[in-house]
């Protein structure tokens, strides 16, 4: 298992000087993932926060080959890069091994880019897709996405006298990806860099498509103190809101089991998007959220214990 010192000693593929919001953890996610590759990396980056803040014309923070694509086609472009690379290798035009990587936000992954992602996974293209999941369309004003949690207040599903926020639970994107019978899929966070690094390394080494979902608390639209990004990342895990687990060749393995599971309120409080849930008339929403989190955790435990392939 890698150490933090080992990870930090790796070459940096993303330079400082980008324009991410104060407290944004996307940079640490990208750096950890790039450090996990022992080969040159080629990146296809969907439109979104990461693309916008790292490539303000005429500047770029990227130190690796990188292409900006639209919201919907990062996985399709990564598929094309992989196919072209294989063709060039076969014809003797290239003799280097490379890793191909696609980055997308949750809007460009769960929603707009889902068709391209599903197609790429089904066809078996050898690349890793990473979604930095800040649970909404944060770059365009905090609209709800399929990753937005139950009860959250967004600009398109606002909380008020007629609504408590988003009425649906988020899409289970990791298990959906794994259902394509890919060799590796995992869920990670930005506060546990070693776990994230190890999962990215497995993804790069997988014989076929790999998928990695990384929770990225958004200080701007979740509305919390920028200094608390890593604290909320950790609370998401300690409350079982965002379990750390991986699916290797269809089998579930949980990477962290909280010894004293904290109630979901610990994750919700302090976030402006959930402030309305602490009113008396909305406490039932928190109770239902706790029930849903507990049910999902028990289901995950059973999948691991049974050893059944998904």
Buried/exposed 253-264: b ≥16 CB within 10 Å, e otherwise: ebbeeeeeeeeb
Residue 303, number of CB atoms within 10 A of its CB: 19
- What's the whole-number average pLDDT of the chain? 96
Domains of the chain, start order: 4-306 (3.40.50.970)
Say which residue the tokens 């990564």 belong to: 78
Q: What is the pLDDT of residues 137-165, one digit of tens each?
A: 999 999 999 999 999 999 999 999 999 99
For residues 111-127, average pLDDT: 98
Least-confidence region, from 6-15, 92-101, 168-177: 6-15
Q: What is the pLDDT of residues 58-76, one digit of tens each?
A: 999 999 999 999 999 999 9
Residues of the chain with pLDDT > 90: what percent? 94
pLDDT class of 41 with cuts at 50, 70, 90: very high
Residues of the chain with pLDDT > 70: what percent? 100
Distance of alpha carbon 59 from the chain centroid: 25
Say which residue the tokens 């003799």 belong to: 95
Q: Cβ contacts of residue 262 below 8 Å, gap of 6+? A: 235, 238, 239
pLDDT beyond 90 at 10: no
Q: How many CA atoms lie within 13 A of 114 on its CB side?
A: 14
How far, in Å, are 17, 34, 54, 212 from residue 65 at the CA level? 18, 12, 13, 20
pLDDT at 212: 98
Q: What is the pLDDT of residues 238-264, one digit of tens each?
A: 999 999 999 999 999 999 999 999 999
Say which residue the tokens 């990146």 belong to: 43
pLDDT class of 195 with cuts at 50, 70, 90: very high
- Nearest by Cα to 309 from 245, 246, 251: 251
> Two tokens at 214?
């990384």
């Amino acid at each position: 298992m890698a150490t933090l010192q080992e990870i930090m000693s790796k070459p940096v593929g993303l330079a400082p000087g980008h324009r991410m919001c104060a407290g944004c953890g996307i940079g640490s996610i990208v750096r950890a993932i790039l450090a996990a590759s022992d080969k040159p990396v080629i990146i296809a980056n969907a439109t979104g926060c990461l693309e916008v803040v790292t490539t303000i014309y005429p500047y770029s923070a990227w130190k690796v080959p990188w292409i900006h694509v639209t919201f919907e086609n990062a996985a399709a472009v990564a598929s094309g890069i992989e196919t072209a690379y294989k063709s060039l290798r076969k014809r003797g035009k290239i003799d280097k091994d490379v890793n191909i990587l696609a980055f997308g936000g949750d809007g460009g992954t769960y929603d707009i880019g889902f068709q391209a992602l599903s197609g790429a996974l089904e066809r078996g293209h050898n690349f890793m897709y990473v979604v930095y999941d800040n649970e909404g369309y944060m770059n365009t004003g905090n609209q709800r996405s399929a990753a937005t949690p139950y009860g959250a207040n967004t600009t398109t599903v606002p909380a008020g006298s007629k609504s408590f926020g988003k009425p649906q639970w988020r899409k289970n994107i990791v298990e959906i990806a794994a259902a394509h019978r890919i060799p590796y899929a995992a869920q990670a966070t930005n506060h546990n860099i070693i776990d994230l690094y190890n999962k990215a390394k497995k993804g790069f080494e997988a014989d076929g498509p790999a998928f990695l979902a990384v929770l990225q608390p958004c200080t701007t639209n979740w509305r919390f103190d920028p200094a608390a990004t890593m604290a909320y990342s950790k609370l998401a895990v300690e409350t079982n809101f965002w379990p750390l687990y991986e699916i290797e060749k269809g089998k579930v393995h949980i990477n962290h089991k909280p010894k004293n599971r904290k109630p979901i309120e610990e994750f919700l409080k302090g976030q402006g998007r959930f402030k309305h849930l602490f009113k008396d008339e909305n406490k039932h929403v928190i109770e239902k959220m706790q029930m849903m989190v507990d049910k999902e955790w028990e289901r995950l435990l059973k999948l691991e214990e049974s050893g059944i392939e998904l």
